[in-house]
Amino acid sequence: MGDGTLIASVKARQIHSDRGHPGLEVAVTTRNGSRGVAVATAGVSVGVHEVQFQYDGGTRWNGKGVLRAAEKVDQIIAPAILGLDASNQTLVDDAIIALDPTPMKSNIGGNATAATSAAVLKAGAAALGIPLYQHIGGVNAVRLPVPGVISMVGSDRYGGGGSESGGKPSYSFLCYGYDTFTDAQYAAWQVSNKFYELMHAKFGVSGRMGYLYLPVGMIKHDKEFWEVMAQAIEQVGGADKIGIQVDVAAGTYWEKDKGMFVGLFSAEPKTPDQLVELYKWMTANYPFVVVEDPLDEIDYVGHAALTKVLPNIETVGDDLYTTNPARLAEGIKVGATDAMLLKVNQIGTISEAFSAVRMCYDNGMGVMPCESRGEGDAIADYTVGLNTGHLRESALGHSGNRFTQIEAELGSRAVFAGRKGLKLD
């Protein structure tokens, strides 16, 4: 191997992301000329316990510019990791973490550390001449996950709610009852198109693959979506093969002074107990399989109680955990959820994110990766390499293409997770 895997250069730049604001891109090159490139961006709902991103402030890009973060990479991180072995992820990440000991990565910025760490992981795989999923999971990286396709991303539908509530809840179809990833991918395409066809017929609105925005007041309750989604599943022959995931981001609707969730699912304010009763009803009457962040992001006990009363439903913590091992440990103590949402750019380094994954597995929890923070099609490699069994969306588009590429590379060794990829029992 020689010294070919040693880091020769690290370079950061600001790019435009599909989130509508800048993202931070970092490129790492090793001495044998191999290269890894990774991006970190912010999400729609950002948990208060996530690492802090470094932003420029001011008026340009509405304050979301990341030129300062790029400078932190070039001037602080790069000198500390040049010459380190890119194939030794823990070694490099330890060096990065030592530069900023603050819990929230507030000095250097979580976007600077995360993008660099992920770029190192990719460069290490390239320098070794192996696929990223194999670099992560070795010979056991053969299982393709249950994918999904987002059906609806909307505005603040009811004209009320918390200050960060716009765009949530969002809904996806999860395609689990199939023999191969390719079959599940096709089912995702079918049910998504059928959903938009039915939405156009019922509401006169048009959408495509995750882009559907409704004027405030067009619907009175999200159960109108649930009806259409259930119809779409039935009409494509997906009963007991396709289920619904909802990303509630309930904490963005929580108004502490009122003790109520305001504007969530409908305009009527709801107490936590009333919201729990609604979850019990909706999961009993519609084909839900996953409920993400159903209560406030600091309510471990409430999540645990809800998880106990939702049989055959996977509860997932995103804002609740923020891929943070310390927060995950708190949830594990009380059995808060069945699974953790994994966003590798949410905690600050690959090593910390993968540590949280190991904690989940050690405690019988599932892991559901998500590409919403700039992970891109590498989410496919993370998912296969970590053997998570399922993930948020990613049936179609660039990530879906990467999954089918991996499926082809694995050939007869490829296994589709199917229903066992979900934590439903």
Please spell the DSSP secondary structure of 378-406, one letter per residue: HHHHHHHHHT-SEEEEESSHHHHHHHHHH
Q: What is the pLDDT of residue 128?
A: 98
Q: What is the pLDDT of residue 163?
A: 60
Q: What is the pLDDT of residue 208?
A: 73
Q: What is the pLDDT of residue 302?
A: 98
In sequence order, which residues have a C-beta less than 8 Å from that of residue 403 and are 6 or more positions away? 144, 145, 147, 181, 185, 380, 384, 394, 395
Q: What is the pLDDT of residue 1?
A: 53
- Alpha helix positions (H), 129-180: 132-137
Domain ranges of the chain: 7-129, 136-421
- φ, ψ (nearest 5 deg) of residue 364: 75, 20
Contact 290, 243 (CB under 8 A): yes
379 vs 49: CA distance, rounded Å: 22
Eight-class DSSP state of 411: G
Q: What is the pLDDT of residue 219?
A: 86
Q: What is the pLDDT of residue 235?
A: 98
Q: Of 334, 423, 405, 330, whose CA–CA distance to 144 is shortest?
A: 405
Tokens representing 403 are 């999954």
Q: What is the pLDDT of residue 167?
A: 73
127 vs 139: CA distance, rounded Å: 18
Question: Do the first three CATH levels of 7-129 and 136-421 match, i.e. the same topology?
Answer: no
98 vs 81: CA distance, rounded Å: 11
Tokens representing 298 are 């600091």
Q: What is the pLDDT of residue 156?
A: 64
CATH of 136-421, one of 3.30.360.10, 3.40.50.11540, 3.50.50.60, 3.20.20.120: 3.20.20.120
In sequence order, which residues have a C-beta less than 8 Å from that of residue 27 and are 6 or more positions away? 9, 10, 11, 12, 35, 36, 37, 119
Q: What is the mean pLDDT of each run of 10 residues along the chain (425 residues)?
A: 90 89 95 97 66 91 94 98 98 97 90 96 98 97 97 67 71 97 98 94 81 78 94 98 96 92 92 98 98 96 98 95 95 98 90 97 97 88 98 96 98 98 93
350 vs 371: CA distance, rounded Å: 14
The class (CATH top level) of 7-129 is: alpha beta
Q: In the block, which residue shows the tokens 């996977």?
A: 314
